[in-house]
Structure 1
Amino acid sequence: MLNKYPKTKITLISLLSLIILLVTFVFWLRSLMPANVNQQDLSVTQPQDLVYLSKGVKEYRGKILAVVTSTDVMDTSGQKTGYELTELARAYYVFEANGFEVDIASPKGGKPPVVIDDDDMGKFDFAFLNDTVAQVKVDNSIAMADVNTSQYQAVYFVGGKGAMFDFPENASIKSLVSEYYQSGKVVGAVCHGPAALVNVTLDDGSALLANKIVSSFTNDEELLLIPNAKDIFPFLLQNKLTEQGANFDVGHVYLANMAQDGNLVTGQNPWSVWLVAEAMIEQLGYLPVKRQITAEENTISILTTYEEEGIQQAKVKISLMLANDTNSFDRVLLVVHTAVYGMQWQLGKSIDMLRLLSFADNN
């Protein structure tokens, strides 16, 4: 009897079934874990609750401009977007703790759209939402055309998919980046924020990006979550940066990675915010104020060790962390990376994540 279904159709059905099983398994695994496995109820955190700020620099060192997107919908796809709250909040407090006042701008000015991912929220992010001064600044962001560029020592471009649509062609952004880079002021950007570097020309007519070491959200990261990204975005950011002459620094998928080329500081994804913000402080000539490393950062460190040195060394790192604090890393983030590896068909690595979780629970 002839097979009723073509082989290609059977293969697609099998792949789809495997994906569904994997996703179902991950959600089941997460359901077994406490909702706040590493934290108390942080939603009421106030800025004054952040020990980091209370021990920060008291002297006034100047101002840094943070720029967020004004785009709320991804082109014709209809998908909502905006700036990523965590990418603004964490950098905002690094700058403040190190003596810098932060102003917030956007291409259109006014209240910009925001993306809040509940799974990623930590005490700094909730503190930002409860920070009256910060919220007034966000709700009344300065239009880029009205920014007095002479007031700031540095600029930081916040990520969020909306940046892909309104950063690259904004004349005020291009002018500010060119001016700051050539005058030695610090230019920082993270995730999709480096879209602000696209199409920037220096006074000699060359592209800013020519031969510069930069990082940003990678093609692999973009296409993993949005397979039709090429149809939604005007371009893939890694491709565009490379086309304009950048030496693109690719880190591990969804792990922290920061690239610095003189006064140009860029980060790959949301987990790179701390690295970018503190590197900007160093480039400004100051030693960053010490802070307690977050559980999320420790987890990213475990995952980086796993990628570069293998599972045994990752277990060693977990043991050292557990010896100091049983909640020193975020188990939920390990579960998330179980899915990330699975979505890349790296099933062996997915199994290794489960082995690390089991190891942590038994030590």
Structure 2
Amino acid sequence: MAKVLAVLSNGYINEEHNYVTGWWAEELFAPALELEKEGHTVGLASIEGGKPTVDPISISKDYDPDGIYKKQYESGMADKTTPIVDVKASDYDAIMIVGGHGAMFDLAHNEDLHAVINVVYELGGIVSAVCHGPAPLVYTKTRDGRHLLEGLKVTGYPNNKEPKEVVELLPFSLEDELKKIGNYHEESNHDAYVVWGSKQILTGRDPQSSQLFGRELAQKLTQRELQSEEKFMD
């Protein structure tokens, strides 16, 4: 059974433009369910700890018509997160950066998060992110000064899907930044799209890719555990 650390944005508010964002509900709950189906456990962290701000749009009827994710959110499943500075990265087999525009504000440039990502990666764990979740991966560098995603095939939320009313409020374009260091792919002909940049790097394009993203991560972790057991038996 693998341990996965899901990292959530604490949220961002722009009062002047009446703009509130945070983590996207489907991008936590859908992958978490896939991981739990495989017997893996999911721990929660955020920069500040406590109850992070969910993007209210992600639990609205427009994006959650059946109220599945709203119900999970209101159950308190994501009410408690560990401050990232208190996370013991070596305890985890994988890290999963949850999307939502909030990730671009408080997760992207946080050095404590970058350090946790690096430890998981250096110990052979899987680094994964969905939708806007790759934002902090863009700015994470390895010990030798190389970009973690340098030259790798990656995906993330594309420019052509960004709401026009939000674009000017965002600190940067995720697609543009990914293209600067990685081999960005959108694959717009697919309803859901995820890509392995390497055996340790997994990214998913958008909320609709959340379930597939979680399934890919869960199955890879299970496969790793089986291989580890076989080596032990030998």
Do Structure 1 and Structure 2 share a fold, with TM-score over 0.5? yes
Residue 226 (1) aligns with residue 170 (2):
no
Q: CA deviation at 1:159?
A: 0.8
Question: What aligned pairs does 1:1-150 form with structure 2 within 5 A after superposition?
Answer: 61-74=1-14, 77-115=17-55, 116-121=59-64, 122=66, 124-125=68-69, 128-129=72-73, 131=75, 135=76, 138-150=78-90
Q: CA deviation at 1:118?
A: 1.9
**Residues 117 and 126 (structure 1 numbering): CA distance in 2 closer, same or farther, change over 3 Å?**
closer
Q: Which amino acid aligns with 1:276?
A: F
Paired with 2:220 and 2:2, the residues of 1 have a C-alpha distance of 14
CA offset digits 1:317-354 (Å, max 9, x no partner): xxxxxxxxxxxxxxxxxxxxxxxxxxxxxxxxxxxxxx
CA RMSD, 1 decimal: 2.1
Is there any run of 5+ residues in structure 2 with no aligned partner, and where? 225-234
Partner in structure 2 of residue 342 of structure 1: none
Q: CA deviation at 1:110?
A: 0.7
Q: Which amino acid aligns with 1:250?
A: E
Residue 242 (1) aligns with residue 179 (2):
yes
Structure number, greater radius of gyration: 1
Percent of pairs with identical residues: 30
Quick check: 2:52–2:79 contact (8 Å CA) kept in 1?
yes
Question: TM-score, normalized by length of structure 1?
Answer: 0.56
Question: TM-score, normalized by length of structure 2?
Answer: 0.86
Is there any run of 5+ residues in structure 1 with no aligned partner, and where? 1-60, 288-363
CA offset digits 1:131-153 (Å, max 9, x no partner): 4xxx2x52221111111112211
Quick check: 2:155–2:195 contact (8 Å CA) kept in 1?
yes
Paired with 1:271 and 1:221, the residues of 2 have a C-alpha distance of 12
- Structure with the bigger RCO (C-alpha within 8 Å, sep 6+) is 2
Quick check: 1:255–1:269 contact (8 Å CA) kept in 2?
no
Q: CA deviation at 1:282?
A: 2.5
Paired with 1:177 and 1:112, the residues of 2 have a C-alpha distance of 19
**Residues 194 and 109 (structure 1 numbering): CA distance in 2 closer, same or farther, change over 3 Å?**
same
**Residues 95 and 81 (structure 1 numbering): CA distance in 2 closer, same or farther, change over 3 Å?**
same
Out of 130, 143, 152, the residue aligned to residue 190 of structure 1 is 130
SS at match of 2:208: helix
Residue 266 (1) aligns with residue 210 (2):
no
Paired with 1:91 and 1:280, the residues of 2 have a C-alpha distance of 8
Q: Which amino acid aligns with 2:72?
A: F
Paired with 2:204 and 2:144, the residues of 1 have a C-alpha distance of 27
Q: CA deviation at 1:285?
A: 3.7
Paired with 1:108 and 1:173, the residues of 2 have a C-alpha distance of 11
SS at match of 1:232: coil
Residue 212 (1) aligns with residue 175 (2):
no
**Structure with more helix by fraction:** 1
Partner in structure 1 of residue 139 of structure 2: 199
Moved over 6 A (4+): none
Q: CA deviation at 1:76?
A: 5.6
SS at match of 2:219: helix
Q: CA deviation at 1:72?
A: 3.0
